[in-house]
Amino acid sequence: MPRALSHYDQAGRARMVNVTAKTPSKREAQASAFVRMNSRVLHALPNNPKGDPLEVARLAGIMAAKRTAELIPMCHPLPLSYVDVQIRLCENGVAITSKVATTAITGVEMEALVAASVAALTVYDMCKALDKAMEIQQVRLESKSGGKSGDFQRVGSSSGGSSRPPKRRQAPK
């Protein structure tokens, strides 16, 4: 039987979960995203007149993780003890991974996902003048540890993101 969604009360209204009675513990989460772009945009990255898009995106991801509770209505504000965003070039785009840690009463999955998402959006923003058809793909939680629900590791993942997402299937005609 599936668990009930905890962000709703018995009347079906959205609510912030009461975590007052929980004990602080070490919690970590990793997330990833991928920005698919053509080779022309990839080759232009070092010469972007707005600055280094990958470094700007890395910093944007770190800053975003720290503001997650302001962006996602039911997230608790957390004292983050570590945020890292790594970005690497691949033959068909940019792979982004984020890692967030805290010692708190609730997890940091959303903070890791927001960091990866905002980093991907920043890459798009800094490169959109060259190609508006870039795609942000595969924003996903790779792993989490700590807390009552235990550990999670995405099957088939090394928590390092995807350097080559699967080819998109053609829709049947």
Separation between Cα atoms, residue 60 and residue 89, nearest integer Å: 17
**Residue 127 and residue 56 in contact, taking contact as beta carbons nearer than 8 Å:** no
- Among the listed residues 9, 52, 84, 125, the single catalytic one is 125
Residue of 64, 60, 66 whose CA lies nearest to 82: 66
What is the Cα Rg of the chain in Å?
18
Q: Is 125 a catalytic residue?
A: yes
Compute the Cα dihedral for 94, 58, 117, 22 and give only its sign.
positive
* Residues labelled catalytic: 125
